[in-house]
Amino acid sequence: MKAVSNPVLQVKGLSVHFEGFSLRDVSFDVAAGEYFVILGLSGAGKTVIMEAIAGLIPCKGGIIVLNGLDITHAPIGKRRVGLLFQDYAIFPHLSVYGNIAYALRSMGFSRSDTGRRVAELAEDAGITHLLRRKPQTLSGGELQRVALCRTLAHDPEVLLLDEPFSALDVAKKDEFRNILRSINKSGKTILHITHDFHEAISLAHRIAVIENGTLVQTGTPEEIFRFPASDFIAKLSGVRNFYPARSEGDRNIKLSNGSVLICVKETPGAEGYVMISPAGVVLSEIPLSSSMANNLTGIIANCFYTPNGYEVEVDAGFMITAIISPQSFEKLNIHPGKPIHVAFKASAVHFVPSSAGPF
């Protein structure tokens, strides 16, 4: 993992143990002003990392450094982080104004300074008109904005977001995503955890993928999507056509089932994975006489519509997915059980070496 310049948050060798679960030797840096997302399935340890940073749970090992200060064992109130909980944790007896102002009053802000800060936050979040309302009269999206303003009120060094979109509908997700982008563009460092890859790539500068308590890959959204380090990461990021494979020391790539594919450039003998772009896979009712280096035959196993076109899964000794237009779908009379020819260029085949081979 590459070190980042000017890190505001450094997590080094973090370990936390519970009965039946362990967070093991987790390390990452978050740069000042960065939007950093930890991506993983439920139960992988995302929330444990966030709660350890916030001081809600003790660390078994490792250190947490915020702006050069070791906060591993610092009291919660001494950590300049703000955690937005999934359940919002809004005070029901206080108005929206009172909820946002609560932290400021406890910090000794004057009435006038508190009023100015609350007004600024409410305007940025689009809830100025709600300041006199009580929480029980608000929608879920409105409550979340209130909780966000309250979390930001004391100007934390890092904003921690725990699955912030989980309770929002599609329209509210878009609105809240824009608010988070704006907050980040203003210079706020954000650490966001989610199980949703599309949510991660729509916001993150960098993503760290966690599996069973261990960080397994860190990189930009493009690096994670184009060069997943394992089958688990490929599936999590929605990559199609990702298989255990071995380079034969030339342009030949051998899959674990014995199928041999041709890639665009020579690769040294190594174990790893092969990716085939679904958009580069061509289907035909007859063999294609073209420059495509890879030609297979198979049986259509499944097909379904997506916003990007029809996904067609073909059993060609291994399952391979093609994405075709609605026009091609109709012209080829695509349906499960139909024999089909599959072809793709060598340039559509990408080999990803792995230090821990899949065989």
pTM confidence score: 0.84
The pLDDT score that the predictor gives to residue 356 is 41
* Stretch(es) of the chain classified as CATH 2.40.50.100: 243-353
Q: What average pLDDT does range 290-306 have in this prediction?
A: 93
pLDDT digits (tens, 9 = 90+) for 213-234: 999 999 999 988 888 888 888 8
pLDDT digits (tens, 9 = 90+) for 103-131: 898 888 999 999 999 999 999 999 999 99
The pLDDT score that the predictor gives to residue 3 is 64
The pLDDT score that the predictor gives to residue 156 is 95
Choosing among 2.40.50.100, 2.40.30.10, 3.40.390.10, 3.20.20.20, the CATH entry for 243-353 is 2.40.50.100
Neighbours of 308 (CB within 10 A): 10
* Stretch(es) of the chain classified as CATH 3.40.50.300: 7-236
Rounded CA separation 139/50 (Å): 26
- Is the pLDDT at 8 greater than 90? The verdict is yes
SS (H, E, C) 156-203: CCEEEEECCCCCCCHHHHHHHHHHHHHHHHCCCEEEEEECCHHHHHHH
Q: Are the beta carbons of 29 and 38 closer than 8 angstroms?
A: no
- Is the pLDDT at 358 greater than 50? The verdict is no
Predicted confidence band of residue 1 (pLDDT cuts 50, 70, 90):
low
- Is the pLDDT at 7 greater than 90? The verdict is yes
Q: Are the beta carbons of 170 and 100 closer than 8 angstroms?
A: no
Question: Which CATH number is 7-236 given?
Answer: 3.40.50.300
Rounded CA separation 26/248 (Å): 35
The pLDDT score that the predictor gives to residue 125 is 94
- Is the pLDDT at 13 greater than 90? The verdict is yes
Judged on CB neighbours under 10 Å (0-12, 13-18, 19+), 247 is buried
Predicted confidence band of residue 89 (pLDDT cuts 50, 70, 90):
confident
Predicted confidence band of residue 337 (pLDDT cuts 50, 70, 90):
very high
Nearest Cα to Cα of residue 173 among 209, 198, 190, 206: 198
- Is the pLDDT at 313 greater than 90? The verdict is yes
Q: Average model confidence (pLDDT) for the chain?
A: 91
